[in-house]
Amino acid sequence: GAGVSQSPSNKVTEKGKDVELRCDPISGHTALYWYRQRLGQGLEFLIYFQGNSAPDKSGLPSDRFSAERTGESVSTLTIQRTQQEDSAVYLCASSLGSGGTDTQYFGPGTRLTVL
């Protein structure tokens, strides 16, 4: 079946502009994660959605970052007033969310470049 998809695959923007990144999780997966991966570094947790529960936003680096999820489907990550240090690959992952620690399936990521 279809895996996690993300769009756009690449985004180049100017400093100060807002950007919106999209994630389509695997159908039936109730858990959804966003991570940031700076060049040559590991994955930095941003936010986690589980079903209808309040999201875990503890990883968002500033109030310029926000994310929404529509039910148990699409999620969007919004970065307002982008800064050059926001340049990174933004990865989305989904999992069954059935309890325990389910396998996360990652999308290919969106490469964001802030000029």
Partner 1 sequence: GENVEQHPSTLSVQEGDSAVIKCTYSDSASNYFPWYKQELGKGPQLIIDIRSNVGEKKDQRIAVTLNKTAKHFSLHITETQPEDSAVYFCAAALYNFNKFYFGSGTKLNVKP
Q: Which residues bind partner 1 (CB under 8 A)?
A: 4, 31, 33, 35, 40-45, 48, 50, 56, 58, 91, 93, 95, 97, 99-104, 106-109
Rank residues 48 and 65 by Cβ distance to partner 1 and give the closer one: 48
Residue 67 in contact with residue 79, Cβ under 8 Å?
A: no
CB of 32 to partner 1, least distance (A): 10
Ramachandran region, residue 2 (left: φ > 0; alpha: ψ -120 to 50; beta: rest): beta
* Mode of pairing for the β-strands spanning 88-95 and 110-114: antiparallel
Q: Least distance (Å) from partner 1 to the CB of residue 5?
A: 10
Q: Taking the complex as a whole, how short is the minimal distance between the CB of residue 41 and partner 1, in angstroms?
A: 6
Q: Which is nearer to partner 1, 21 or 97 (CB)?
A: 97
For residues 83, 19, 109 and 3, what is the CA-based torsion angle, rounded to 10 degrees? 160
Contacts of 97 (CB under 8 A, 6+ apart): 29, 30, 31, 50, 51
At closest approach, how far in Å is the CB of 15 from partner 1? 26
- The smaller minimum CB distance to partner 1, of residues 84 and 103, is found at 103
Beta carbon nearer to partner 1, 7 or 106: 106
